[in-house]
Structures are given as C-alpha cells and as structure tokens.
Structure 1
C-alpha cells in the first residue's frame, strides 16, 4: 500500500458538489493535482453505495474507498455496493419485531419504496431507486409525537440500533460515523495526515477529527458555528462557495508539495 503525504476526506452536497447544479467543474484543477500526486480523495456522504459508486466513477475516483450512509459503512475501492446488505436486512427485521404501536409512526425507505422516496425527496425515479438500495442504514419519516419518538428510539437502543435525527429523516443504523471511518481508512495508508472538507453541522465530527479541516462556504445551508479549531488554525474557512471553495482550499496544499 502506498503512503501518500495526506488523505482528503470530503463531503459532497454543498462542498465538492455545487448546491444547485451538483456539478464539480470548479474543483477539477485541485482534483487533477491530487491525482497527479496519487493522493486519495475519499467521498463521505449520506448517499448509498450505489449512488456513491456511480458518482465516484464519473469523477474518476473509483480507485479509492468511500464512506457511505453517513458513516454507517464503507464502499471498497473499485466495488459497486450490494443491494440490501445484511445489516440493512437485520435492521428491517428488528423494526418489524417492535410492538405495533411503536413501529407504526415510522415510515422508512423500505416502507415508502422508490416511488414514495421519489415523491418525498424530490428525486428522479432512478435516483430514488438507488437511494433505496441500502446496505447499512434506514432513513425514515416520523409521524408521531416527541414522546412516542423517544420511546421508539429507546426500544431500538435496547436492540443495539442507533437513531440520528437529520434535517428531515430519522436514520437508524448499528452505529458508526464519518469520523470513525476516517481512522479506519487512514490505517490502510499507514495513517498519514488527514484533510477534511465539509459545509454543514453533520460534518463537524469529520472536520474536528482531521489534522486540517476546511469549512466550505454554502449560503444555502445551515452553516457551522465558530469551532474551537479555528483559533489554532486546525480548521479554516473558504472565502468561495461550494466546489470553488474546495479548489481554493486544496490548491495551497498542492503548491506546498510542488515546492518541496
């Protein structure tokens, strides 16, 4: 296994991908520079393995592993994700074993199906189908009150299931975060320096775990409050937005490699 000078871990939507167009053209110069130095670029997203595999191939990043389903699992390099992995099947089985009154208010992607996910999330039929091909976690809508949600989460916790609330969905998994997976991947490359880029609160753990974290501007998102690492320079903010900001923050790292 080669030993790169650093590894790049990056969020997608609003970070490497433009918020509106989902394009990454402004980041191409930095991506090409990283490729010339054989520096791994690890995509880290809530997207499923099939979604990441397709995007990773279009971006020319299939030689590297990826973090999928918000850190619930990994997608190995050069590998398409299996549909309905064993962890996902076990999650669904645990759901069905819950008392009916606890289970009823939760409508997971497995309950909604591709048509329901397309309608709720505004995805294309193809995109919704890939979002439903899950291996590690189950997002869903909660239609009950806060008290019944707490009881639902507690019952799942007794069965080893973690529930994390996102902007719209309550996501169930057997644990694992983007930050957990960063260490796992870094160990494959003899633990070089880790660089992370993200734009939203759910990227905070990843940014703070990295040796150097970059907060990418995204005027459309919730944004991140000032973080302790900013006072020491461990975390920095871009002045540009999305993939332009991504390029802005990576280029100086590449210049340092050229100079040395």
Structure 2
C-alpha cells in the first residue's frame, strides 16, 4: 500500500506571495491531518522562521526542511542549529575581490528594518529571517556578466548561488530534493507529492512521484519541465494556497487517497 507524504515550498506556494496568507489551504490541511498524510515544509526560511509557522499550520509533529535544504528542523523544533556552515559561506564572500563582492548585499549585512522592508515581513519575523545557520540570501544589484564572474569565484570555494522567488541564496549546494527523501523515509512514506513555484524547487519537483507547479503571477513562470507532457507534473491556474489546495486534492484523488 502506498503511503503518501507532501513536500511543499512556502512563499508563493502554500503561502500567498504578497500577503503570506495560507488560510485558503486550511480545509485541505485539516483533511490531510485527518487522513494521516504528513506535510513537510521545505523552504528557504530559517529554522527560527519555520518553527512558529509550522505550529500555526498544525504541522509541529512533522520535520521540516529549512534554508533550501541546508538543514532539517526536527519535530517540535527548539534546537539551535550549528552555525559553522553559514560562517564558511561568509568567509568565502569576504575572500572575494572587492569589485566582485560589492554588488551582493546579504541579509547579514542588513539591519532588521532593512530585511523587513525588503521582504514585507514584520520586524519580529525579519529578525528570524536573519538568523542564518546554513545559507546567506541577498540581492544582486550588478550586471549579468559580473554575476557570472561572482558565481565562478564563489564556486572555487565550493559555494553555489541559487535563484529563488525573490533572492539569490548562497550555500554549499544542498537542495530541498536532497533532504526530502531523507525526511520522507523517517516518516515511513513511500510516495511523494512535491509542490513549488520557483527555480529552487525544480529538483524536488522532478524527483517526486507526482508534482505541481503553483502559479505565481509575481514572477516569471518556470520553463516546461520534462515530465509535464506525460502528466506527472501539472500546473495550477490559481495562485498560492488556492492553487496548492486544488493540486493536492486532485493529485491525491487520482492516486486513490481519500480526503
């Protein structure tokens, strides 16, 4: 018998891109809990951000994936992650020539107020977004050619940049896909449904058993993925949590899971 788990991005997917509202998905989340289908949050958010949000969503008993696969937040949260990996990212940045380094401005260089203004988060939440353990998100203000040189220089130190819905995030290459099978196995899940909207979701969309690209009118759509034509990956018409709910209910119904 198949046991399904859901792995989902947050911003622009389960959460509305502009308002961070998730309530249109509340009925579906309640039905998933009743059916015993775990929902694994997989986000660029930090452990400090995901913990309270996971509690609000009623998912505190399920591990979550933080910082784009940089780490896993265990059920119940509370643990303070080792910050050594983030320190290595910052050291690699500091070692770049000034002309390459200058166009990238990371969260660690910003005040809480600046992060709040950039993200639209309240300052309390913005402080949590700055509480990094694995990766460094930021904004790139330079030319495209300079960005390529920036990426090459960081790559020599093992640091990779990943484009999300809003930010360029620097880290050591772990992805949501790297973590989702690990978390699913810990839950006894045999089949995975993944949902996302941004380039940093593509790996998990491509390796899950079924997947959905959730519409996000605030950013360019993802290019066609290999398995869309075959029907393994679908796209929603509705954005954010409304589209999320439609995709989850349709795909699980097709898989014979009663919600």
Q: TM-score w.r.t. structure 1 length? A: 0.86
Greater shift, 40-49 or 103-112, is seen at 103-112
CA distance, structure 2, for counterparts of residue 142 and residue 96 of structure 1: 16
Alpha-carbon offset, residue 180 of structure 1: 1.4
Find the residue that maps to 2:33 and give its secondary structure: helix
CA distance, structure 2, for counterparts of residue 237 and residue 146 of structure 1: 29
Change (3 A) 1:120 1:220: closer
CA distance, structure 1, for counterparts of residue 122 and residue 202 of structure 2: 29
Change (3 A) 1:81 1:169: farther
Alpha-carbon offset, residue 60 of structure 1: 0.8
CA distance, structure 1, for counterparts of residue 2 and residue 74 of structure 2: 18
Stretches of structure 1 that go unaligned for 5 or more consecutive residues are none
Find the residue that maps to 1:129 and give its secondary structure: helix
Stretches of structure 2 that go unaligned for 5 or more consecutive residues are none
Partner residue in 2 for 1:110:
108
Task: State the superposition RMSD in angstroms.
Answer: 2.6
8 Å CA contact 1:16–1:24 kept in 2: the answer is yes
8 Å CA contact 2:137–2:168 kept in 1: the answer is yes
Partner residue in 2 for 1:11:
9
Greater shift, 133-142 or 24-33, is seen at 24-33
Name the count of aligned residue pairs.
257
Greater shift, 121-130 or 76-85, is seen at 76-85
Residue by residue, what CA displacement relative to the aligned partner does 1:161-198 show, whole Å, maximum 9, x if unpaired?
11224455332101111111112222323451010112
Alpha-carbon offset, residue 236 of structure 1: 2.0
Change (3 A) 1:23 1:120: closer
Greater shift, 215-224 or 177-186, is seen at 215-224
In the alignment, is residue 257 of structure 1 matched against residue 241 of structure 2?
no
8 Å CA contact 1:67–1:73 kept in 2: the answer is yes
Find the residue that maps to 1:225 and give its secondary structure: coil
CA distance, structure 1, for counterparts of residue 139 and residue 12 of structure 2: 23
CA distance, structure 2, for counterparts of residue 220 and residue 146 of structure 1: 21
Match for residue 25 of structure 1 among 5, 23, 26: 23
CA distance, structure 2, for counterparts of residue 230 and residue 185 of structure 1: 25
Find the residue that maps to 1:232 and give its secondary structure: coil
Change (3 A) 1:106 1:230: closer
Alpha-carbon offset, residue 8 of structure 1: 0.2
Change (3 A) 1:81 1:170: farther
Partner residue in 2 for 1:59:
57
Residue by residue, what CA displacement relative to the aligned partner does 1:196-241 show, whole Å, maximum 9, x if unpaired?
1123343222211110112223333322333332222211233433
Alpha-carbon offset, residue 143 of structure 1: 4.2
CA distance, structure 1, for counterparts of residue 36 and residue 11 of structure 2: 24
Change (3 A) 1:57 1:190: closer
Greater shift, 159-168 or 58-67, is seen at 159-168
Say which one has the larger Rg.
1
